[in-house]
Each structure stands twice: as structure tokens, then as C-alpha cells.
Chain A
């Protein structure tokens, strides 16, 4: 029997919301420890070269400073992640601009800035690689044996034989630029470290146990002497997945040497110049289709620019590869993908994690395929959508009910697509401002890919206190997306309590189990399920021992917990992830069940393009998705709206200008993200089909909106103007050139 007190589906206010709206929430830069000093990073100005000499110019009282270089590192000089190729501080060679070389600490922030400028790092330049083509052509070998961090091959059916059945073949090349995460809180960390006490860091981060692992390697200390505490985190979007391991290492090294707590907080310019961004990409499609619009052959070559070190590039490439063929049932597919090294700061995790790149290419390409066979964009997709029982490119049979056609119908209806498309076509001729409407249909896998979740083996703990409160202990972080609130709802609902009875502990590796990283749209679906199971276990324990009777209220629950703990000493449940036995994945062939569940979506964008200024405005945006059960409609809606806004930025405004591996526009003045004037009212609709293995039926949601927004906008611009958009961002400069070609 379902508990009477349902918390699922309710717009429960954000758990830490009162602190956030009053300014009482404490972010890392709001903390000051007694005796704390400040740290800065001195970085390479050269893209690639051999470090000759580090000079400390006169005029600075250097004896007052703590100075750290590679030789001061007690353990291994690396930022341990998948592999250990990235140094924490460059020693002999630098491989990208802004690579950290020297660290300085001093109590006076202003003097510290002067000192930073007075450190001269003399580097003998070596030839560098800035373009993917040059890296693939091996003009210089800058990483490993062939400049390739990782490559994948996915094969479905028999592509070589399939071309014979293709009556029309459409080819195309598509590019996406880098994108800055642009969390409004820059990266920051405070460390307290000494040989006697070990290493503790407090900071803005997504993955406490990633930082923990990196510090263990960097200091060569036992695990239990390292502690990582997450402070309130002002946005992450992937940008605080791997980079915090770097800045935590730096703060800890300075503290280790100075014996004082050290705070490092980047200013915006340093954050934009030095930290990771979304991987730039290039995708080549060759698609064979029948005259009736049936996809028979898809060849996809997908390449990413990884920057100078591997970081998470193989995993980003993996997700991009698996999503490259979309929610379609084409029987013959070959996807070849590579991520290559260049001498730019490493690219890394950013919401969507490779999928926004490959989905942009596919969804833009399919509009061109539709035109080539004389079908409407929606009809081409309708004839190829994957259905229950059919297989994705990686050979995963879709067992869940999937109704892409219904999502498409609903999205087109809600957006007034057909009426507008016809009207715009009529009204656009003769108008300088041209309107268009376009869409993208797509899927996004929730959780780690393949055997990733099995390998992680995440844990979560729920514990009842003597006072009758329930505590959730997990390594999953709140960074605005709603972890605290949603975990409270899941636990409360499972136990039949109100959310106020649930306390979410701050992630602290000394207290919480390793729930895996807060990434990959996995927090609700994977960790939330562990929380739900643990909460149910506690309630069951109370019931089985006769302390709790049906229809209990919160006071009876408190009393039951108190009596249970009195009798047995404690009441808690630690639950470890168990990989479903029917999910199989083969890393060798890259075949199998890539994800436990997918979110499915159709997004429609309506735009107007001023052909005189080549500026594009998004006038309306409809986002329809099936994400399983929605736990909190306000938070879930906010996730989609925020992701769509980031997607609008990705499509139209956010242009990283590169000069020899360095971001040339690393300020908010000239790297443009959407303001309240640049986004329309984003209209979000959920179809809810409960997913049996998710907590209360929920699937993952966080990354989904980044995938479909940019291609929907690009397709709308193409419809409005007749230009063939092949790359994003579609800046006015780029669009002006395209418009001139159309009218030439």
C-alpha cells in the first residue's frame, strides 16, 4: 500500500532556498579561517615549450612569500583522473597556454597580484598544434604516439552492403565551437594541510571523491588523512567536475608549505582563460535513404578537440559517439570517433558531455536529408523513429515504451508549428525580418555509460537520529540543480514523512559515502534510488520490530526511532548500487546496453532573423520531454529552462575566440551569454511514464536540454532564411556571410 503522505510530484521549496534568497548561504569565498592567507597561480604564456628558467624580479619582498614549484610536491606530480598525464605544476615542459607553473601565497591579496606579475617564466617555444586537422595529420606529435587520446568504432548491421539500397545519399560536415560553462561563482578552494594533520580542502566542486583521489596521489598520503568538503556551489554544469582537483591541489600545496590555511579564488578572467570548456567538434555524415524516406545507411565520423591533456575526453567522446545516431532505428550504422590533442587548455565536462555536439550535427543533417527526398522534416523523422523492441546503433534493444511520434505531435501542436511554418513561408518574402520555426528530436541516456555504474558501485546512507530526524548522507552535491530537495522528497515519500523531517548532510568525505560524481544526469535516477531503498529499509526496520504502526504521524515516527536506537544502538541503512542483471555492455565491441534508461524529447524553436543586421532572436521555445516521473515540477522545469537558455547561448552567442591556444575573449564583456532580454518564455512540458528502476519512477534529466536546443534553432534559421547552417555559434558575422551567399 502506498504511503498516505506523498511528496513526489509536489513543488516542495528548495531545501537550502531560504539561505540562498537572504544571502546567508556560505560559498567558499564567503569563508575566512584564522590565519588564512591567499594563493595565486603563475601560468605559462606559451602554448608549448621547454621551461628554461623561473626568475623572481626585484622589488618584491620574496622572503615574505610562500613559493611552490613542481619540486615541492610530496607525492606524484599529477592531477589523477582517468590517467595521470596532466601535471599539477609543469616542471620541464608546458603544453598549453595558462598551464600552472608556480604558486605563490601571501596575506596581502594586492601585493600577491604584483608578485604574480613579477615572476618570469622563460620558455623556449616548441612547435604547437592548434587545429584538429593538424593534430590528426601529425604535424607534430604532442601527446602519446599519435596525438589521439581515444577512438571508438560502433558498427550496426552491414554498412558497406547497405549503400546499394540507398536511393539518395546525403553528405554533410558540421562544426561546433567551444563553450564556457560560465557558472557565476568562479572556481575557488581553501586548504589546510600539514604532515601532522593531513590535508583538508573546502570548496566549490561537483565531485568530492574525484578531488579526494587526486589529493591522495598528489601527497602520497593514506586515504583517511585526506578530507574534501563541498561548500555551497554557485553552479557547475560540468565545469566543476574535474578542474577542482587542480585548484584543490594548488591550495593544499601552498598550505602544506606555509603551514597556514590558504584560499585560492580565481577571478573571472583567470577562470575563463585557464579552466575547461566544452570540446569543439567536427562531424561528417554520409546518409543513405530510400525515396520513401527510410534511413538505410548512416556513416558518422565524429571528432573532438581535447586540448593538451586527456582529462575526461575519452568519456566525453563515448557519450557523443553513442548519441550520434539519435533516436532512430536505421539498420546499418557505422560511427567512428576520435578525440585528439591540441595545445589548448584541456577541454572537459560540460552538461551534455559530447552529446550536444553530435546531436547538433545529426538533427541539422536530417533536415537536409528530408529536403533531399522531398519530405517534411517531421515526416522523415516519423518514418525512422525507434520503437519498442528495435535497436539503437550500439545494439541496445529498447525495452521501455517509447513514443517519439507522440512527443513530436505534441511539440508541434503546442508550438503551432504547422500553421506558423506555412504562414512564415508566405509572409517572409519581401520582409527584412524573416521568421522561421524548426525542431530537433533526440534522446539522452541517464547515468554512466555501459558498465560505468557497475564499476563505480555507488553508495548512499540514510540514518535516523535519536531526536527522530532522518539524515541522508551521500557524496552527491547540490550546485543549484536541486539534489538536496529531491533527495529529501524521495526519502520523505518512502518513509511517509514530510520533507522538513529529512536533513541532507553537506558532502564531506569524512562523513558521507562515495555516491559517485554528480554528473551524467545520474543523481536522481541512480543515487536517488539508493536513497529511496535505504529510507524504505529504515521504515521497514521500525515496522518489523513493532515500533511503528500503519498510519503513524511524525511524532510517532520520532518516538519509534528513539526507542529503536535506545534498544539497538543505532538505525541506519547503507545501500550499494546493484547493476541490473539484464543490462550487458561490452567495452571491446562498444555494443550493448549503453544506458539503463533514456529521456526522450522534441524541442521546437521559433526565430526571427533580421537580414539587415544578421541578428537572430528566439521568439518562442517549446520543450516536450519524457523523463519518467517528475519528482519536483518547479525544479525539473527550472532544469529544462536553464538548459535551454544555455543551449540558446551555444547556438547563437557563445563564441570562444582562439589565438594560439588561448581564449582571446575571456571576459563577460566579450564572451556573450544570454540575458533576460535574449531568451523567450521557455515553455516546458513533461510526459511522465514512470521508469520501473528509478526512484518513484524518475529518470535523469539534467543534461537533456543542451542536446536539442541548438539544432532546433539552427533548423529554424535555415527555414527562415534558406541558408544552410553548418556550424554553431551562428553569430551575426557568420550568418551575414551565409546570407550573402544565398542571395548572390
Chain B
């Protein structure tokens, strides 16, 4: 009989805090974040990298955390929705989603906001088609995307005015 897999310990930084996590090497980063680290803001929608509900940033890149084995997170800097802003102090993108109707049922929202933030870091003044492309890996069943796009546009406008 093959030897049962052993748990591994990985060290990484989540939302600016050093964390030590222990699980099987192929455990999904999504599960470890939610169940061990307590970051339940990251959601599971499909478990196969299609819907983007579990989007997080890993070393600055947007990834589907359902497709990342824990081992790959060793030494990584991870940002989840909890690292963006708090209920009482929203980040500009979160504020725009709140005001412009970018969130309805809210289950895709954390992933969508992570994708929007990642897009705006790479491209601070995206065109409409660039926003559509930038968010195309994140499915939303409620909004028809129209108000999500409006939210991202408003977040850009807000940050321009802030400069």
C-alpha cells in the first residue's frame, strides 16, 4: 500500500500578517484559507477555476485559490478580500461597488473586487472593453455586469480625483 501523504507546514504572509499553515501538500489553498486561517471572505463557486469566486492575489497575481495547492503558497504574499478594507472603512473599489450596485447577492463580490483591484493596479485607467476583459474570469449571475463595470469606472474616477 502506498504511504499515506503527510501534512506539510508552509509559511506565508496573508494580508500583511505572517502565517504558518499545516495541511496536506495538495490541499486547496481555498480550503486552508477558509478553514484554518479563518478568511471566509474568499468563496467557492465551482471548484474548477471557472467562476473566479475564490480569486485572491498571490505575489501580486490574481489566482483562483481553488486551483492552488497549499505547497505552492510557501513563502508567498497573499491578499484576500479581508486585506482590502473593513466594514467601517471601505477601500475605494469596495465603496464604488456599494454605491453603484456592483454587489447583489454578494457571493461573487469578494472575488470580483479582487479582480477589479488587480486590474486597476496593472492598468489604472482601463477602457470599458479592458474592464470587461479584466473581469471575464469572474462570473456573476445577479447583475448582468452592467453595474459592476460602472463600479469599476467610478473607482477609477475616484482615485483620479484623489491624486
Interface residues of A (CB under 8 A from B): 11, 13-14, 16-27, 29-30, 32, 181-186, 232-237, 267-268, 479-482, 634-635, 637-638, 641-646, 667-669, 673-677, 679, 681-682
Contacts and interface: CB of A to CB of B under 8 A. Distances in A.
A346 B94 CA distance: 39
B65 interface: no
Interface in B87-106: 87-88, 90, 94-95, 97-106
Interface in B9-44: 34-35, 39-44
Contacts of A644: 144
Contacts of A674: 144
B8 interface: no
A679 B94 CA distance: 23
Given A21-B98, A479-B105, A641-B144, A268 B149 contact: no
Interface string B58-83: 00000000000000000000001110
B48 to A, nearest CB: 6
Interface of B: 34-35, 39-48, 50-51, 53, 80-82, 84-88, 90, 94-95, 97-110, 113, 128, 131-133, 135-149
B132 A16 contact: no
B109 A21 contact: yes
A237 B144 CA distance: 14
Given A22-B94, A634-B100, 8 more contacts: A23-B39, A182-B141, A184-B43, A185-B45, A479-B105, A480-B105, A638-B142, A682-B144
Contacts of A21: 85, 90, 94-95, 97-98, 102-103, 106, 109, 113
A30 to B, nearest CB: 4
Query: Sorted from nearest, which 8 A-B pairs have the closest CB atoms?
Result: A23-B41, A480-B105, A234-B107, A20-B106, A645-B144, A641-B144, A23-B81, A480-B104
B141 A184 contact: yes
Contact of B105 (A32, A185, A669, A679): A185
B142 A642 contact: yes
B50 A667 contact: yes
Contact of B84 (A14, A22, A236, A267): A22
A58 to B, nearest CB: 14
A190 to B, nearest CB: 14
Contacts of B46: 268, 667-668
B41 A641 contact: no
Given A22-B82, A23-B82, A681-B146, A13 B98 contact: yes
Contact of A645 (B41, B87, B143): B143
B5 to A, nearest CB: 11
Given A20-B106, A235-B107, A642 B98 contact: no
A30 B139 contact: no
Main secondary structure of the interface of A (DSSP, over half): loop
Nearest to A29: B44
Given A638-B104, A676-B135, A676-B136, A669 B50 contact: yes
A184 B139 contact: yes
Counting chain B CB atoms within 10 Å of each CB, which of A21, A669, A676 scores highest?
Answer: A21
Contacts of B137: 675
A210 to B, nearest CB: 19
B3 to A, nearest CB: 16
A675 B53 contact: no
B136 A22 contact: no
B147 A233 contact: no
Contacts of B99: 11, 13
Given A21-B103, A677-B132, A183 B141 contact: yes
A185 B40 contact: no
B141 A673 contact: yes
B101 A235 contact: no
Given A642-B141, A677-B136, A635 B101 contact: yes
B106 A234 contact: yes
Contact of A18 (B51, B80, B90): B90
A681 B147 CA distance: 9
Given A235-B142, A681-B146, A184 B51 contact: yes
Contacts of A677: 132-133, 136
A23 B104 contact: no
A479 B55 CA distance: 22
A233 B80 contact: no
A268 to B, nearest CB: 4
Contact of B90 (A11, A22, A237, A267): A22
